[in-house]
Amino acid sequence: MPMTRPTSPDPQRKPVMLTVDDDPAVSRAVARDLRRHYGEANRIVRAESGPDALDTLRQLKLRGETVAMLVADYRMPQMTGIEFLEAAMDLYPAAKRVLLTAYADTHAAIDAINVVDLDHYLLKPWDPPEEKLYPVIDELLDAWRRAPERPIPHTKVIGHRWSARSWEVRDFLARNGLYYTWFASDEPVGEQLLQAAGEDGKRLPVVVTEHGDPLVEPSDAELADTLGLTTTPSQDFYDLIVVGGGPAGLAAAVYGASEGLRTVLIETTATGGQAGQSSKIENYLGFPDGVSGSQLAERARRQAEKFGAELITARTATALEINGPKRTIRFDDGGSIDAHAIIVATGVAYNELTADGCETLKGRGVHYGAAVSIASECEGEEVYVIGGANSAGQAAMYLSREAKSVTIVVRAPSLEASMSHYLIQQIEQRPNITVRTCTEVHCAIGSDYLERLTLIDNRTGQTDDVTCARMFIFIGAAPRTEWLKDVLARDDHGFILTGPDLRNVCGWTLDRPPHHLETSVPGVFVAGDVRSESAKRVAAAVGEGSMAVMLVHRYLAES
């Protein structure tokens, strides 16, 4: 299944016709005659041994190219033509297969029809080709074109449907707008790609780049480096470091860079944050028809880069240090960067469900959040959405397009207290969405993947076993600010205190009061959901991101 914001696949990539013969003169002659007649519509590739030809086919497979025809000489050292064609079938089963034979070897060619499902055998010499070669090849190419293999020149992901890391890789690529096609490791094309990569399927996922380079069980940083995302800051010192790439962080990057600050944004996974995973945001100013979170994030990312902000992906901030007027961010790989000022906009992460079985089945039917890429996988399935906030409602609406049924499970007696009115109305009008109130998940059940849930009514204590293919969890959120606990003042839940909320907090060192979004450390500001008592809405986060930049300017003017 492809994911979009691609660099589009090249529609002009020509099908390959590969010839293999150990006699260089014969090899050149075959290639010459094929190129003369078919070179305009096809790419003619030649090899002079079976092993070399197989290596070429593996490279072509990994690069996503199609092979229309294989022409192999019967008598070759190391590997006969029949042995080559038999091995080649595992990589390109749809390619037409032709064996070149001398008159004395026609019996072998006839035997090959049963061994490798041979399409034709040609006697050498084939002169004149207009009579003995081209009519045969024309007929075979016509047959291939009636059911051609499609080129896949972009990134390919081969993994197991119920592998947690396979889902994480797909989510990383999708959220970063990197085009890919997904193949299950136990399906024919997936098996062919694994064979071409020299893998047996025990180490998954395997990501094959558009250049044909296989990455086995890659980390996010390895994916980012290989696929062209920026992972290293170009400078050691900036005016402004923005930590977090959600709406607040992107707004800060746009306004910081547009107002002349040397600005760098650091993001662990992908720009957009939780909002970037939303299928449709309908209450954001200026988008009366709604906008997907990924579209909003992509536009903001382009806007930030247009003004000169650097966007760094797959780097995790692990420490904040204060050294006089310099503020330092340290990364998990040991690197660091410095700046005059910092805006923390790391948002929040969904709390994990503690019900039995959820941890074991995480990534194998149990998901936190709901990437848009998952919806098509839910066709005909019974899925459950746990949580009653807007993010849960948006996910339920989107999943209901493909799923057989969607059930929203909430502990509260209704959705009114936590979900916007417009979403509640949409949910009520969608026939395949059901809401179960005063209900919680007691346990998740499944062997290799999620199969059932046990729900419990928190009024009566009664339990109910239900069939469930996937469960998407949106329960509460935590700020994940442990890396800042010894530096910045936080509330009892870990959210960062700012401005007036710092009145009763020790540690403020300046004569002036802290600015509205300033933390307990001068020059370090906070925007968005990670701030204590924030509004937890996209528009509020964007507003705070832009406002924080204004306060950074004030701070710099005072310093």
Q: Which residue has the tokens 């330092």?
A: 328
CA atoms of 227 and 78, how far apart (whole Å): 37
Hey, what are 25's tokens?
Answer: 């003169």
DSSP state of 125: P
Q: What is the DSSP string of 537-559?
A: SHHHHHHHHHHHHHHHHHHHHH-
Domains and CATH numbers, the chain: 16-146 (3.40.50.2300), 155-226 (3.40.30.10), 237-348+479-558 (3.50.50.60), 366-477 (3.50.50.60)
Q: Could you read off the pLDDT tens digit of each residue along the chain, which spans 559 residues?
A: 444 333 334 445 899 999 999 998 989 999 999 999 999 999 999 999 999 999 999 999 999 999 999 999 988 988 999 899 999 999 999 999 999 887 666 676 677 777 778 888 888 878 899 998 999 999 999 999 998 788 888 899 999 988 889 989 998 998 898 889 999 999 999 999 999 999 999 999 999 999 999 999 999 999 999 999 999 999 999 999 999 999 999 999 999 999 999 999 999 999 998 888 888 888 899 999 889 888 999 999 999 999 999 999 999 999 999 999 999 999 999 999 999 999 999 999 989 999 999 999 998 999 998 766 677 789 999 999 999 999 999 999 999 999 999 999 999 999 998 999 999 999 999 999 999 999 999 999 999 899 999 999 999 999 999 999 999 999 988 999 999 999 999 999 999 999 999 987 877 888 899 999 999 999 999 999 999 999 988 999 999 999 999 999 999 999 8
> H or E segment at 134?
helix 134-146
Residue (of 143, 140, 23) closest to 81 by Cα position? 23
pLDDT of residue 526: 98
pLDDT of residue 109: 65
- Contact predicate 13/151, CB 8 Å: yes
- Contact predicate 120/71, CB 8 Å: no
> What contacts 171, CB < 8 A, 6 or more positions away?
371, 373
- Contact predicate 195/91, CB 8 Å: yes
pLDDT of residue 371: 65
> What contacts 15, CB < 8 A, 6 or more positions away?
41, 42, 43, 65, 66, 67, 68, 144, 148
DSSP state of 162: T
Alpha carbon 136 to its chain's center: 44
Sign, CA dihedral 529-534-539-543, equals: negative
Q: What is the 3-state secondary structure (H, E, C) of 406-470?
A: EEEECCCCCCCCCCCHHHHHHHHHCCCEEEECCEEEEEEECCCCCCEEEEEECCCCCEEEEECCE
Which residues is 257 bridged to in the sheet?
A: none
- The three-class DSSP label of residue 293 is helix
What does the radius of gyration of the chain's CA atoms come to, in whole angstroms? 29
Which residues is 19 bridged to in the sheet?
A: 46, 71
pLDDT of residue 194: 97
DSSP state of 11: T
For 244-283, give one letter per residue: b (16+ CB within 10 A) or e.
bbbbbbbbbbbbbbbbebbbbbbbbbbbbbbbbbbbbbbe
> What contacts 489, CB < 8 A, 6 or more positions away?
496, 497, 502, 505, 507, 519, 520
pLDDT of residue 8: 39
- Contact predicate 6/179, CB 8 Å: yes
